[in-house]
Amino acid sequence: MMGAGKQCVVFGLAGLLLAGCETGSHIRNASAGGAAGLFSCRQISGAFAAYDRDRHSWSALKNIAAMTGLDTARLESAKPASYYEQVKNSANIALLVQGCQPL
């Protein structure tokens, strides 16, 4: 049986590992798919700003996803706003891959 402190450490490390894998996946998608030279920093930032203004818009979500390489096939929720953190992280990674200032 594990103590509470050890459990926290184990769960914390597992969370970091999963976050690292997801970030790596976003970088591969951004460099291979959407952002690799196809869109300017201004276009990516503008598409994110449009989604940020209307987080209930599927078209704004799909637009920024196409620019950043975010996989929309896995998006299952009926609410585009529930993907805000994923979209923002994806936009930041795409901007960094381009050598731009993140959001």
For 67-83, write each residue's pLDDT tens digit: 988 888 877 777 888 89
CA-nearest of 20, 35, 53 to 92 is 35
CA-CA distance, 94 to 100, in Å (whole number)?
9
Report in angstroms the alpha-carbon separations of 44 from 15, 77, 78.
Answer: 28, 23, 24
Amino acid 41: pLDDT: 92
- Whether 86 has a pLDDT exceeding 50, the answer reads yes
For 28-66, write each residue's pLDDT tens digit: 554 444 445 688 999 999 999 999 999 999 999 999 999
Backbone conformation region of residue 30, classed left if phi is above 0, alpha if psi is from -120 to 50, else beta: alpha
Q: 32 with 25: CB under 8 angstroms?
A: no
Within the chain, how many helices (H) and strands (E) appear? Answer: 4, 0
Amino acid 37: pLDDT: 64
Q: Is 21 helix (H, G, I), strand (E, B) or coil?
A: helix
Q: What DSSP letter does each residue of 55-72 carry, written as one string? A: TT-HHHHHHHHHHHT--G
For the whole model, what pTM was predicted?
A: 0.64
